[in-house]
Structures are given as C-alpha cells and as structure tokens.
Amino acid sequence: MTEIRPQILIVDDEPININILVDVLGEEWRTLVATNGEQALRRCQTASPPDLILLDVMMPDMDGYEVCRRLKADPATVDIPVIFVTAMTDLSDETKGFDLGAVDYIVKPISPEIVRARVQAHVELALARRTLHEQNLRLEEAIQRAEDMENLMRHDLKRPLGIIIGFPQLLLDGDDLDDAKRDALGKIENAGYRMLNMIDLSLDLAKMERGAYEATPVKIDVNRALDQVLGDLETLRRVKDIDIDISIDGDSASHELVFAYGEELLLQSVLSNLLKNAMEASPEQETVTVKMKPGNPVEIRLRNTGAVPEEMRDRFFEKYASSGKSHGTGLGTYSARMMVDAMGGSIKLDTTEQDTTSVVVTLPAGQPKI
C-alpha cells in the first residue's frame, strides 16, 4: 500500500525561491505552489488542504502577515501550521509573525538541512495533534454511546421493577394476610426500591470513571446505613456463620450516633461492597469487625480474618483485581474507591497485621443537629 506523503504549500511570488524549496523538499513531501496570497488562501480551502505552509512575507497586494492572519481567523484553516520564510531578520518582524500564529521562522538564504528538519518536526507535530483530536472525537462518541446504552438499560429495567414493587403494595392492601406474609411482602417491596437505586448508581459509577460525576453531599447517618447493609447481607452472614462485631470509639455497647458528610446511597454501596468482600474472604465461623470512630474525618475500619496476598496489595483497589475469591470480579473494592473519592473521602488497605485484612474509610464529618 502506497504511503500518503504530507502535503506542503509553498507561497512565494518569486519563481526562483519556489524552485529552490521544491528541490530541497525533494520526494519526501508532496509540494503545492501559490504565487500570491489569494491563491494560497484558495488552496487551503480545498477538500485536501496542505499539512504545512511555507509562507514568504514580502509579497505584492497581500503580504505574508495578512495571509497568516486570515488563515488563523478561519476555523477551517486555523490548525494548519505556518512557517514564515523571509529575508527580514529584525526581531520585531519575527515577533509579529509569532503573534499572528506562525509556528516557526526560516531566514533567507535558506539552509536545506534546516528547512527539512523544521518541516519534518512541525509536520509530525501537526499530524500528532490531528490524530489526538480524532481519537478524542471517537472517545466522545464511545462515551455517548455508552451513556445512551446505560439510559436505555436503566429505563428497560425500571419498568419491570415498577411492577415488582407495585404488586406487594396491592397485596398489602388486603385484609387476609398474617404478619409473616406482610413482613415478607414488605421485604420484597424494599428490595425492589433498593434495586432501583442500584440501577441509578450504575450510571453514576460510569460518570465517576470519566470524572463527570457531581456529588450532592448531605449529612448522613452512618449507623443507619450500616444497619441497612447488614440486613441486606444477613443471608450471607448466616450461611458462613460469621459474627459481626460493631464498636463506636472502641465501645461495642455504644449507641452514639455517627454522622458523615456524603451521599447515603453511595455510603451504603461502599459498606455493602466492603462488608461482602470481608465476609466472602473470611473463613466460616469467624468475626468481621466494624469500628467507627467519630471525629473529622469520620473513620470506618472493617477487619476480617485472612490476609490479602502480597502480590495483590498494590492492586487491591484496581478494576478487575481479584484476590482469588470464589466468584470474585474485582469490582467491589474498585467501585468502593470511586465512590469514596466522589464523596471527598479516602480509602486504604492496612496490611500491618499478618493474618488479617483491614480496610479503612475516612469521610468528612457531618455533625448531628442539637
């Protein structure tokens, strides 16, 4: 396949100067020629504009400065690099050219080596910028397609969930249900609402990855968020016969309320991911501890038996990094990190203890109302 050579436009009213530059550029570049400013502007407006312009300054009717000014004022030609080729050596002339948007100056009489080197450098730079721009456009299109797909999935999933949530309420309106059935229907309804929140959260997580998520932090009750998560994970806790030991400021009997500043749904998801990870990594009949420490920042420390393999520690919060747990995806700790970051907090893995794993989350404090 024939490689397309970069296209250089030479603008000069003197044929001898044009011939010299054409000879210097040789076969490495394709050359176009314009003998005045108007002709140069027209050549830049074609379907195949030049990759670079070598522009003489002193020309009749329209000098090189005016040609450059018009090129940089037109969105269609603003990105074409312009190198002035001139016999003028005054610093003010050079400054004027750069102020108009030129990328370089070559002084007459020209040195073939300098011309080739500067043309090569600026053509490569221009092509790199163009490639980067095209990649950014493709990335923006891919992001938009992903958002469209997320929105479509969210819409399609919400419709059947609306029915799932609605039916328990219809049944609860009846009079022939005992307390156990009412309790079960209530749990189904609550699970449906939590599923709706999780669908919304999936789109938010995609925005966090792009740095486009804007948090709306409020004061949140950490105790309540933890109770909600423990209820959701009760089945897993029973299956593995794991005890959950909760303490506040070192006191397991404390009923002190702990408040943080963030988003409740994000905090619930963080705690759910980390607690589920801790339970799954723990041997059966062990204890997972949750230590909350009020202050500014608020600290939440989750600890389980079993150490993270040494080779995994530096990648513990990376996407798809899994420490070998059964059914592990490596997304739980990754999403926890993204959500904690979004709330202005921090998260770290504490590996100072040999046979345990501790994850420490800190969040801005939210003081209780008096």
Domain 218-363: CATH class, spelled out: alpha beta
pLDDT at 326: 45
Q: Would you identify the CATH topology of the domain 7-110?
A: Rossmann fold (3.40.50)
pLDDT band at 1 (very low <50, low <70, confident <90, very high): very low
pLDDT at 321: 62
Lowest model confidence (mean pLDDT) among 95-99, 176-180, 273-277, 302-306:
176-180
pLDDT at 188: 82
* 210 phi and psi angles, rounded to 5 deg: -90, -5
Considering only CA atoms, which of 1, 8, 3 is closest in space to residue 126?
8
pLDDT at 163: 72
Considering only CA atoms, which of 63, 79, 77, 88 is closest in space to residue 11?
63
pLDDT at 87: 86
| DSSP secondary structure letter of residue 46 | S
For the segment 44-93, what is each residue's pLDDT rounded down to a tens digit? 999 899 999 999 999 988 999 999 999 999 999 999 999 999 888 788 88
Where does 215-255 have alpha helices with state H? 222-232, 234-240
Which is higher by pLDDT, 208 or 31?
Answer: 31
Element (H, E) at 45: none
Per-residue pLDDT at 38 exceeds 90: yes
Mean pLDDT of the chain: 86
Per-residue pLDDT at 369 exceeds 70: no
Helices H / strands E in the chain, number of each: 10, 12
Lowest model confidence (mean pLDDT) among 81-90, 97-106, 262-271, 307-316:
307-316
pLDDT at 173: 76
Instruction: For residue 153, give every residue at least 6 positions away whose Cβ sits within 8 Å of its Cβ, in sequence order, or none.
Output: 199
Predicted TM-score of the model (pTM): 0.54
143-148-153-159 Cα dihedral, nearest 10 degrees: 150
The Cα 16–Cα 127 span in angstroms is 29
pLDDT at 122: 93
Quote the percentage of the chain above a pLDDT of 70: 90
pLDDT at 80: 94
Distances in Å between the Cα of 296 and the Cα atoms of 176, 251, 259, 265 are 51, 19, 10, 21
Look at residue 57 and give its three-state secondary structure.
Answer: coil
For the segment 245-277, what is each residue's pLDDT rounded down to a tens digit? 999 998 887 888 999 999 998 999 899 989 988
Put the strands of the sheet holding 30-34 in their side by side order. Answer: 30-34, 7-11, 52-56, 82-86, 104-107
Element (H, E) at 64: helix 64-73
pLDDT band at 153 (very low <50, low <70, confident <90, very high): low
**Token match 């328990």: residue?**
168
Instruction: For residue 331, give every residue at least 6 positions away whose Cβ sits within 8 Å of its Cβ, in sequence order, or none.
Output: 319, 320
pLDDT at 83: 96
